[in-house]
Structure formats: structure tokens, C-alpha cells
């Protein structure tokens, strides 16, 4: 069993919530709380959420984590 880790980042919009919700619907679990930071260059708030998932596969750096 392998634990995969992803960090989903996006501007603070509904798209961020949809991306996290999609990951949860595919069996990923929240890992800690969300984070937010002001991006002064773009002038927007940025969000981040770490997620993890247990899979029956050997880890390989070429894995497409979003499709697991």
C-alpha cells in the first residue's frame, strides 16, 4: 500500500472548492487544514489544500496523481 500526496492550489474562487470536492469524491482525504495567502503580483487570494490517498500501487515519479 502506498500513500500518495497532492497539494491543490487555486485562486480563492469556487473552482478551488470544486477541485477539492472532486478529489474527495475520488477517495482522497484532507491532510490538515486549508491555507491561504495573498498573491501581490496577481492581486488575488490563493488557496491550498493538501490531500492524501492510499493506493494499491508502487510509487513512481511519473504517476499522474490527479487521475489516481
pLDDT, position 49:
98
Domain with 6, as residue range(s), is: 2-67
What's the predicted TM-score (pTM) here? 0.87
* Residue 25: C-alpha distances to residues 18, 20, 44 (Å): 10, 9, 27
Number of domains in the chain: 1
pLDDT digits (tens, 9 = 90+) for 6-62: 999 999 999 999 999 999 999 999 999 999 999 999 999 999 999 999 999 888 888
Q: How far apart are CA 41 and CA 28, in angstroms?
A: 31
pLDDT recorded at residue 58? 85
CATH of the domain at 46: 3.30.1660
Rounded Cα distance between 25 and 13, Å, is 19
Give which of 54, 57, 36, 55 is closest to 46, Cα–Cα: 36
Amino acid at each position: 500500500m502506498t500513500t500518495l500526496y497532492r497539494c491543490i492550489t487555486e485562486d480563492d474562487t469556487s473552482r478551488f472548492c470544486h477541485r477539492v470536492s472532486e478529489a474527495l469524491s475520488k477517495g482522497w482525504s484532507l491532510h490538515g487544514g486549508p491555507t491561504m495567502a495573498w498573491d501581490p503580483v496577481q492581486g488575488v487570494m490563493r488557496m491550498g489544500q493538501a490531500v492524501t490517498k492510499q493506493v494499491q500501487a508502487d510509487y513512481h515519479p511519473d504517476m499522474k496523481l490527479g487521475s489516481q
